[in-house]
Chain A
Amino acid sequence: ETGVTQTPRHLVMGMTNKKSLKCEQHLGHNAMYWYKQSAKKPLELMFVYSLEERVENNSVPSRFSPECPNSSHLFLHLHTLQPEDSALYLCASSQDGSGSPEAFFGQGTRLTVV
């Protein structure tokens, strides 16, 4: 596929649950991203990590907490979500500094909050 793997593919959680989304890239990239995709905002950037440091946080509510333990892995920790947080969450990676900012996307996690 694209070299970016997301798990799980589907997740249903209650508003009081705590869950985590996982992303792993096998491309040797140094930047990773979380996007939210919904009918209202088709591709909304949430977080950017470059060289394992968070460089972007687009006013995302604190109930979403990202973690980047190394350049190959990215997590999105979820707690006390709302039904409007139901969406497709996409992870992407790219190689900063290469002059080729092409982003490679995973297949996404379809999240439903009940």
Chain B
Amino acid sequence: GENVEQHPSTLSVQEGDSAVIKCTYSDSASNYFPWYKQELGKGPQLIIDIRSNVGEKKDQRIAVTLNKTAKHFSLHITETQPEDSAVYFCAAGYRDDKIIFGKGTRLHILP
């Protein structure tokens, strides 16, 4: 079955700097890679996703890259702000099959 590894587990970044979270997956059939943000006291919410027919996707300050050959994908947050502090989860899945989550990264934005 699918296995998703996520690094780092904790990340502290100065406000205004960039943050990068990396994930690897094991099942080469996976073609859907969502990223979720979980704020304190809330459930995870989708912030961006990418499918295997594209290599990069951007949405304002958030971008995700995918390298299918190496089976890894990354989340990039630029110009970080205090409200970016949260736990971020990557995930991998195949079409409508269940998606497998990474263990999460706790991001701290330092003032």
Say yes or no for A27: interface residue by CB 8 A criterion: no
Q: How many residues of A contact B (CB 8 A)?
A: 25
Q: Quick check: A42 and B43 within 8 Å, CB to CB? A: no
Q: With contacts defined as CB atoms under 8 Å apart, how many contacts are there between chain A and chain B in the complex?
A: 53
Would you call B97 an interface residue if the criterion is a C-beta within 8 Å of the partner chain's C-beta atoms?
A: yes
Interface residues of B (CB under 8 A from A): 32, 34, 36, 41-46, 49, 87, 89, 93, 95-104
Interface string of A34-49 (1 = CB under 8 A from B): 0000000111010010
User: What CA separation (Å) do A96 and B96 show in the bound complex?
Assistant: 6
B91 to chain A, nearest CB (A): 8
List the A residue with the shortest CB-CB distance to B49. A102
Output the least CB separation between B22 and chain A (Å).
Answer: 16
Q: Is the CB of B43 within 8 A of A90?
A: yes
Contact B99 A105 (CB under 8 A): no
